Amino acid sequence: MRDITLGQYFPADSVIHRLDPRVKILSLIAYIALIFCTFNFASLAFAAAFVLTVVLLSKVPVRMYLKSLKVIIVIVIITSLLNLFYGTGEPIWQWGFIKVTWAGIHNAVFVCVRIVCLILLSSALTFTTSPTDLTDALERLMKPLTVFHIKVHEIAMMMTIALRFVPTLLEETDKIMSAQKARGADMESGSIIQRIKALVPVLIPLFVSAFRRAYELAIAMECRCYQGGEGRTRMKQLHLSKSDYLSMIVTLLVIAGVVLFNVLFPHLI
């Protein structure tokens, strides 16, 4: 239970790890948009090939990626099947009201590859970027939003603290569950409703303790002169290096490539 961490970071020394987190986040957004702009097999294959290259470059074991795909596999199968059977046009195979068309197959493959690419790329981001770097990058990227009176620093601070306390609260949940079990609480049998009810004696102490922790943390933060985001400096400065510019160029090239394939082979389905 203790090993569940949000955005499982996998420390390694790779090109992808060293990239500026801001560049990684922005590139991810660009690629996600791009993957949904692939209109034929050529451009889809090109985009997918790029995703696989990133996965291999990240030096994160492939089984980690497979693990993250496992969570989503049911959704992939269901959406692919739905697309398979709801295609329009001439049926090539029919059984009762179920019919399979070329358009259906085409849609199913596209949806499947797109979702898999999406998951792989987002996993690549969380595997290669530490949670602190992520929140840090988000804070800097969202900085322009302060114009609209959005409290960017506060949001980032909340995310940092939430990430910090995930393992602590998980450990505590474990402890409380053991304590309640030792008193004869039954959490593993009965209907779903009974099991949910059995969680109440776990959740109440957990919430009470979370409030107590929050209160103490606030005191500790005040003791360390925390006064909000204003006038605060950071130890780690983010600056763009040569490889960051290079990766931006690669991103642009991939976008150009997908557009090119879309235009060059408009009839490849």
State the residues that interact with another protein by CB under 8 A: 2, 130-132, 160-161, 163-164, 167-168, 171, 212-213, 216-217, 219-227, 231-237
Contact in structure between 55 and 124 (CB atoms under 8 Å): yes
CA torsion angle 257 259 263 267 (round to 10): 90
Judged by beta carbon, residue 151 or residue 164, the one nearer another protein is: 164
Residue 16 and residue 247: Cα distance in Å, rounded?
9
Cross-strand bridge partners of residue 101: 91
Residue 160 and residue 135: Cα distance in Å, rounded?
7
Q: What amino acid occupies position 150?
A: I
Judged by beta carbon, residue 77 or residue 158, the one nearer another protein is: 158
Residue 76 and residue 82: Cα distance in Å, rounded?
10
Give the number of other Cβ atoms within 10 Å of residue 21's Cβ.
21
Residue 225 and residue 244: Cα distance in Å, rounded?
35
Q: Residue 97 has what DSSP assignment?
A: T
Judged by beta carbon, residue 197 or residue 232, the one nearer another protein is: 232
CB of 83 to another protein, least distance (A): 40
Judged by beta carbon, residue 10 or residue 102, the one nearer another protein is: 10
CB of 223 to another protein, least distance (A): 4
CB of 210 to another protein, least distance (A): 10
CB of 136 to another protein, least distance (A): 9
User: Taking each helix axis from N to C terminus, what angle separates 41-57 and 242-264, rounded to the nearest 10 degrees?
Assistant: 160
| Residue tagged 């919430």 (tokens) | 207
Cross-strand bridge partners of residue 100: 93
> Pairing between strand 91-95 and 98-101?
antiparallel
CB of 230 to another protein, least distance (A): 9
CB of 45 to another protein, least distance (A): 39
Contact in structure between 123 and 68 (CB atoms under 8 Å): yes
Judged by beta carbon, residue 130 or residue 180, the one nearer another protein is: 130
Contact in structure between 150 and 142 (CB atoms under 8 Å): yes
Judged by beta carbon, residue 192 or residue 223, the one nearer another protein is: 223
Judged by beta carbon, residue 192 or residue 219, the one nearer another protein is: 219
CB of 2 to another protein, least distance (A): 8
